[in-house]
Amino acid sequence: METISNNTIPTCTMTLSFDPEIKNGKLSTLIGFDELDDLIRGDEEKPSGWCIDLKNKIEELGNRQDGWKGTGSLAPDANAVRYAQAMLTKLAAAKIARKLMVGLDFEGTFSFSWFDNSVSADLTVYNNGSYSFFISIENGDSASADENFVDKPLNPRLLKLLRS
């Protein structure tokens, strides 16, 4: 993954594919809430209301300040919010039908979780643009991986299990 300086926050621009493209040090695969609105409203083949709920939750959690969960808890920085937005958009575009939840941990890192009768999964998005996940499904199949990147296509094993 190409390094982005600490002073540069990836801008949000819409692209038609989610293949990584770096232009002027900015990730064009990261899109913001305006573009997410375009994805989640409209025809029936686009993601359902859970996307709107999660979009709003990321906005809410992104406004937290240091100390939000007690002494030492950290607020998410702008990169953490943008990468969480990008991951939500990628999950929506991948047509993941399972309802998921989003949360913020003590270190200001966003996590997406799925828990139902057939799947248990957690995907953590870090402010450097990487993500890790663990998923286990009802039939005993499971997968986990670290060092995946939001600006790359979603991990195929993750997609397969989330769609099963």
* pTM score, whole prediction: 0.71
Cβ pair 52, 67 in contact under 8 A: no
Number of H helices, E strands in the chain: 4, 7
Q: Which residue has the tokens 């953490």?
A: 80
For the chain (length 164 residues), average pLDDT per consecutive 10? 30 28 36 43 49 88 95 96 93 80 94 88 95 90 91 90 81
- The domain locations on the chain are 22-163
pLDDT for residue 162: 83
Cβ pair 96, 87 in contact under 8 A: no
pLDDT for residue 85: 93
pLDDT for residue 139: 85
Enumerate the β-bridge partners of residue 74. none
Pair of tokens at residue 42: 């409209």
Cβ pair 10, 144 in contact under 8 A: no
